[in-house]
Structure 1
Amino acid sequence: MSPDRPDVVALLAAVNPVPHDPGTDRTLDMRARADLAAILTSLRDEESSHAQGPPLSTKRHWCRRAVVAGAVAVVTAGVLGAGMMGRAPWAGPDTARAATPAALTYRPVPGGADAPTMLRTLAAQVRQLPRDDGHGRYANVTVREWSLWTRVDGRQVTSEVVPLERRSWIADDGSGRLSTTVLRPGASPRTTTAVYGPGGLSMMWPAGSLSGDSRTLAEQLGRGHPAGNGPAERLVAIEDAYQAMPLEPSVRAALLRYLADTPGLLLTGQVSDRVGRPGLAVSIDSDYSGLPTRYTLIFDTTTGALIDSEETLTSSAGKLNVTIPAVISYTVFLGSRYTSRTE
């Protein structure tokens, strides 16, 4: 089915929790295309080997902005980011409430310090660390996150949450490699890899270009994350920086200071992330994405690196078919180094 069919767009608009502005649509970035290819490859392979198996459970999902720019474009293309869409107007009475992952357990930080104080103290420690971001022409980043596939069949939408592990190697000239592994529960991991020549890939900021000077860094981040979007945009900017490239200690320290200046920032507490690593969590509450959401970043207290990012609906699900509070997305940062090889 063509992703450009207007009837599909009209149907999906009814369940999009964020009003759609046609002027904001952009082409899906390369990471989203790689994710989509990996998911669809995994689905085709599994459906071929289990053609007579039970039907997939029906879940409802919404768009995660870190994966793609346009919510309607993502759904009609067949892939969404981690999150949940509420019951559609055409859904049958047997539609199950969407399952969401358990919230992490946060513990109070002894001493009663606030978030800005903790972050600035950590930044001072991190700035003294030796460089640890590796050497080589390729910026290599590995993350694990939610994604899902969605099939639109007539007036029925069938979706399934699928964890992804994504690895990227990107050189200054835009060449490199993207590898996406679908980690479907109960199935063998399936990996899709794409290789790009010069100019085939791009990053929001050139590799190694982010500054360790706080004022310069704030200007760099602000070009793609305008202050007019509200304080939560600062947390999005930090996550995007870690998604883009390895960061040396001086830049990590500057990012911590940048985050410390965020109005309304909360000290969420000590926590173990989704893969069991200890960290310090800070959060901000915002409805800038369309629903009241708590955005949380978790940092390693030795290296100052971002290790986990979480989004949780706090007081209202809107049209989303989830139980409040509900974790609607997370991204785990597993590794980041410059390297001379794409493997």
Structure 2
Amino acid sequence: MADELDLLRRANPVPADAPQHADGPLDHHGERHLHRLLHEPPPAPASRWRPTGGRSAHRGVRLAWGLAATAVTALTLLLGGPSAPPAVAAPRPLVVHADATPVPLDLLAERAEAAATDGEPGLRKGTHVQSWSLGMSDDAPPITLPEERVVRWTADGRHTELVVATDPRHPGRPVIGEDEDGNPRQVEDGRVVSDTTYPPSWSDAPPHSPPPHDPGRLRAYLEEAQHTDTMDMAQLLDAADLLLDNWTLGARESAALVRLLADTGGLRPAGGVTDRLGRHGQAYVHEVTGVRRMLIMDPDTGAVLGLETTFTEAQPEYGVAAGDVMEYSAWTR
């Protein structure tokens, strides 16, 4: 019975924001689902649970998706069966303001260079990022794991990493986070996933060494970080994502990155947007088969505010529709 009770606790059938279940009896469907959970063999672990995109490698996410399938399937049953909405639905993509005039990247690069003349703010090692990453399976609804990560370095080479399960779009509401074993489960907003202090370490190799603030040297730096001789726009966006997961760029580094993006070509100016933290930005879009990536930048300084990756084609085998957000990152100082 211990295993079943543990599974039931992880499934959390009555979350904090659930409707009025109180102490009343279960209805017919609830009794049937509870009986299945307690008396029938658990579903076989899914072999295809996986987080999408490349951010999990950068963040070192330790989600055990095969084990997670059992808990998420039980949660789906208890909340109403396979036809019920996912516990945490994929966020919808950001919408460009209808009356917004797109700002060409060349013009934004000029603004960023002008704003960087005094060198403030300066470059800082470490990052503060809020992210939403979609996990998919072929036998359970997709789930979105929102988290906030803060990495800070000290002068002696030590650094700390604090990871919190939270979704600023819905403050105070439960979110999908990790339990003590690294499995996805519904947790209270603000739950600390990990709080780690690392011993001193140094490296002269990108992205650990300081990025230059010259566009040409920055390209070489990012190519070394990505282990490639040349970068197209898709690779450059990957490299920028990696860079921002290690450094909080200063004004000069942001200006160099905007100029590098403008010189590379392939980003279409789309217009103004309000990002998921309520900040006004300019959106620039790059599309490949099945996927759209939208880079959101400060309209005055060129600082990167966010990067959104969206499905443009449905993947029904994973319960993903065109327009679902695969992953989103929002960086702050």
Question: TM-score, with normalisation over the residues of structure 2?
Answer: 0.65
1:104 pairs with 2:87: no
What is the Cα deviation at residue 322 of structure 1?
1.6
1:221 pairs with 2:222: yes
Residues 219 and 245 of structure 1: is their aligned pair in 2 closer, same or farther, counting only changes over 3 Å?
Answer: same
Corresponding position of 2:241: 239
Which of 327, 330, 333 aligns to 2:331? It is 333
1:143 pairs with 2:129: yes
What is the Cα deviation at residue 197 of structure 1?
0.9
Q: How does 1:244-259 map to 2 (within 5 A)?
A: 244-259=246-261
Corresponding position of 2:43: none
Distance 2:260 2:68 in 1: 33
Which of 159, 162, 166 aligns to 1:176? It is 159
One-letter amino acid of the counterpart of residue 183, structure 1? T
One-letter amino acid of the counterpart of residue 247, structure 1? L
Corresponding position of 1:127: 116
Corresponding position of 2:265: 263
Q: Which has the larger radius of gyration?
A: 2
- How many residues get paired? 266
Residues 77 and 144 of structure 1: is their aligned pair in 2 closer, same or farther, counting only changes over 3 Å?
Answer: farther
Aligned residues of 2:122 and 2:250 also touching (Cα < 8 A): yes
Q: Deviations over 1:273-303 (max 9, x none)?
A: 001110111111124xxxx211111111233
Distance 1:275 1:178 in 2: 21
One-letter amino acid of the counterpart of residue 94, structure 1? P
1:47 pairs with 2:14: no
Aligned residues of 2:58 and 2:242 also touching (Cα < 8 A): no
What is the Cα deviation at residue 118 of structure 1?
3.1
Q: How does 1:294-309 map to 2 (within 5 A)?
A: 294-309=292-307
Corresponding position of 2:82: 94
Distance 1:112 1:252 in 2: 19
One-letter amino acid of the counterpart of residue 90, structure 2? T
One-letter amino acid of the counterpart of residue 215, structure 2? S
What is the Cα deviation at residue 120 of structure 1?
2.5
Question: TM-score, with normalisation over the residues of structure 1?
Answer: 0.64
1:166 pairs with 2:149: yes
One-letter amino acid of the counterpart of residue 270, structure 2? T
Residues 107 and 234 of structure 1: is their aligned pair in 2 closer, same or farther, counting only changes over 3 Å?
Answer: same
Q: Secondary structure at the match of 1:67?
A: helix
Q: Secondary structure at the match of 1:261?
A: helix
Q: Deviations over 1:109-146 (max 9, x none)?
A: 76665x33333233332332442137xxx734211112
Corresponding position of 1:210: 211
What is the Cα deviation at residue 210 of structure 1?
0.9
Q: Secondary structure at the match of 1:68?
A: helix
Residues 111 and 300 of structure 1: is their aligned pair in 2 closer, same or farther, counting only changes over 3 Å?
Answer: closer
Corresponding position of 2:201: 199
Corresponding position of 1:281: 283
Corresponding position of 2:170: none
Aligned residues of 2:106 and 2:262 also touching (Cα < 8 A): yes
What is the Cα deviation at residue 171 of structure 1?
4.4
Distance 1:263 1:123 in 2: 17
Q: Secondary structure at the match of 2:238?
A: helix
Residues 181 and 149 of structure 1: is their aligned pair in 2 closer, same or farther, counting only changes over 3 Å?
Answer: farther
Distance 1:279 1:104 in 2: 11
Q: Secondary structure at the match of 2:90?
A: coil
Q: Deviations over 1:164-209 (max 9, x none)?
A: 01110134765211101112733242112011111399984235x2
Aligned residues of 1:79 and 1:148 also touching (Cα < 8 A): no
Residues 159 and 284 of structure 1: is their aligned pair in 2 closer, same or farther, counting only changes over 3 Å?
Answer: closer
Corresponding position of 1:66: 55
Q: Secondary structure at the match of 1:324?
A: coil
Residues 108 and 223 of structure 1: is their aligned pair in 2 closer, same or farther, counting only changes over 3 Å?
Answer: farther
Distance 2:150 2:68 in 1: 18
Q: Deviations over 1:223-281 (max 9, x none)?
A: 12336664211112122222211222111100000111233210011011001110111
- Unaligned 5+ runs, structure 2: 1-5, 16-29, 38-45, 70-80, 168-172, 175-187
Distance 2:10 2:204 in 1: 35
Q: Is 233-242 or 193-202 further displaced after alignment?
A: 193-202
What is the Cα deviation at residue 318 of structure 1?
6.7
Aligned residues of 2:141 and 2:318 also touching (Cα < 8 A): no
